[in-house]
Amino acid sequence: MKMSSVLGMALAGWLVAQGAAAEDLSGTLKKIKDSGTLVMGIRESSFPLSYLDQNQKPVGYHIDICLKLVDAVKAKIGLPGLKVETQPVTSQNRIPLVTNGTVDLECGSTTNNSARQNQVAFAPTTYVTAVRMAVKKASGITSLAQLDGKPVATTTGTTSVQLMRANEKGKSINFREVYGKDHADSFLMLETDRAVAFVMDDNLLLGLIASAKAPGDYAIVGETLSVEPIAIMFRKDDPQFKGLVHATVASMAKSGELDKFYTKWFMSPIPPKGVNLNFPMSEALKSALKNPNDQPAEAYNAK
């Protein structure tokens, strides 16, 4: 057989293989391959998971994890020059923007719960938060019982108010909800005395306090309303993409890479002010990283 024929057959075989590989892609991976672009949903004030630094660049613990997921996608689809775009999302629009195909990976601060699992899918848990409240120390507030008749801030699209009303100590309290469009807006209500408390995830409260004009004026107090797994979100019913995401996060947990990212964002100085949150990893998160899973919040709060 002539060398040219051998080369021709080899080339034909390679093209067939490439075509088969392309046909094998489905769902989100096919969408990304076809468009040449992956869209990351980012938060602008979800410290220290996903927020904007002094240069308005998205940074944070979940941003670093998502960038590793992007690398895995590039390798899977064979597109090292894949373009990555960022799309700011809010608590209110993050799920619709994932389900309608606008955002491929939501790299924010979203709680994984059973209701949301009916609409979207989640990566293995990469943070576990306790929902509590931030107050001004001068207010003297230390418990839900002291909120009766007072304005309480929370962020539109979050579950904080429902958690307060579901808590035994909160059932008989007639507090007034005031809503911020994002976490920074909600904290501003506390800062300007339009609210006496801001109820949210402990890590977000810590980051907002650390970035405040007078961090020493605030404290995180009160009952733990819920313990919640936080994870990166993506479209459901897409086993190929879910398999890649889960395998990548599990690998990062096993290799210790997630521990390094945690140290970087929770135990070291972070932008924009170089504040160290000094917030050691909880036992719940250590357990989640030891056995990566996408169990919803209900599993963490089962009595």
226 pLDDT higher than 90: no
- pLDDT of 164: 76
pLDDT, mean of residues 275-287: 93
- pLDDT of 282: 92
| Omega within 30 of 0 (cis) for the link into 58 | no
Summarised one tens digit per residue, pLDDT across range 28-87 is 999 999 999 999 999 998 999 999 999 999 999 999 999 999 999 999 999 999 999 999
More confident residue, 38 or 3: 38
Question: Are the C-beta atoms of 50 and 63 separated by less than 8 Å?
Answer: yes
Q: Quick count: other Cβ atoms within 10 Å of Cβ 276?
A: 11
- State the number of CA atoms in the 13 A half-sphere of 201 facing the CB: 23
Confidence of residue 211 (pLDDT cuts 50, 70, 90): confident
Pairing of strands 197-201, 151-155: parallel
E strand or H helix that includes residue 37: strand 37-42
7 pLDDT higher than 50: no
Q: What percent of the chain has pLDDT over 70?
A: 91
- 130-228 CATH: 3.40.190.10
The C-alpha atoms of residue 274 and residue 210 are separated, in whole angstroms, by 9
210 pLDDT higher than 90: no
Summarised one tens digit per residue, pLDDT across range 152-197 is 998 988 877 777 777 756 667 888 889 999 999 999 999 999 999 9
Confidence of residue 16 (pLDDT cuts 50, 70, 90): very low
Residue 244: closest CA among 76, 78, 102: 76
Provide the b/e sequence for 91-116 (b: ≥16 CB within 10 Å).
bebbbebbeeeebbbbbbbbbbbeeb
- pLDDT of 15: 41
pLDDT, mean of residues 8-26: 52
The C-alpha atoms of residue 166 and residue 171 are separated, in whole angstroms, by 6
Specify the pTM. Answer: 0.83
14 pLDDT higher than 60: no
Average pLDDT of the chain is: 90
- pLDDT of 90: 93
Q: Could you tell me where in the chain the CATH 3.40.190.10 domains are found? A: 28-126+231-300, 130-228
Residue 61: closest CA among 206, 184, 193: 206
227 pLDDT higher than 50: yes
Architecture of domain 28-126+231-300: 3-Layer(aba) Sandwich (3.40)
| Omega within 30 of 0 (cis) for the link into 280 | no
